[in-house]
Structure 1
Amino acid sequence: MFAPDDVPLHPVSCGSCGTCVFVRKNSLAHTLVQWTSDTARCVELSGAVAGAVPTCTRLRDSIESSVRRGTVPVPDL
């Protein structure tokens, strides 16, 4: 089950490289991330292999921290 599309996106900056993304939690397990720039400043993503699903553990940590602080809410489903 997913959150409605009218749930707002929240800005989150990576604690490592400072890249800002917009985030919406649809559930505890599902996170939508909308990039506002390229990934050139990200150490983990700047060398991503074509076809691979890119991920940045540092950005994930920043998002999880924002969820714990309550700045990125998780809807009750």
Structure 2
Amino acid sequence: MTVRESARYLTKGLRPHVCDGCGTTVLVKKNSLQHTSVQWQSDTSACPRLGPLVSGCTLLRDSIERAVRDGSIEVPADD
């Protein structure tokens, strides 16, 4: 895989998503119902719930799951 192909694989399908909890915007890609990729566009300190001892934000996870349910974030169909 070339560098260009790798970059496209990592970024293709990313969609902006605003967290319902704090309003932070992240880029989200659903590869499956179980797998979610999140890329922060700012330092993670923008999220008031994340910290050195917290590995993830449940409000962001719940917000992404809601967006999947309402169709604003698509999950690819299984092949």
TM bracket (short chain)? 0.7 to 0.9
Tell me by how many angstroms 1:41 deviates.
2.9
Tell me by how many angstroms 1:48 deviates.
2.1
Tell me the residue number matched to 2:20.
Answer: 15
SS state of the match for residue 32, structure 1?
A: strand
Tell me by how many angstroms 1:7 deviates.
4.3
Q: Distance in 1 between matches of 2:13 and 2:35?
A: 15
Q: Distance in 2 between matches of 1:67 and 1:7?
A: 17
Tell me by how many angstroms 1:26 deviates.
0.4
Q: Distance in 1 between matches of 2:48 and 2:26?
A: 16
Q: Distance in 2 between matches of 1:59 and 1:48?
A: 17
- Structure with higher Rg: it is 2
Q: Which runs of 4+ in 1 moved over 6 A?
A: none
RMSD of aligned Cα (Å): 1.9
Relative to its length, the structure with more helix (as a share) is 2
SS state of the match for residue 67, structure 1?
A: helix
Q: Give 5+ residue unaligned stretches, structure 2.
A: 1-8
Tell me by how many angstroms 1:37 deviates.
0.5
| Alignment TM-score, normalising by the size of structure 1 | 0.79
Residue correspondence of structure 1 range 28-43 to structure 2 within 5 A = 28-43=33-48
| Alignment TM-score, normalising by the size of structure 2 | 0.77
Tell me the residue number matched to 1:27.
Answer: 32
**Letter paired with 2:52:** A
Q: Give 5+ residue unaligned stretches, structure 1.
A: none
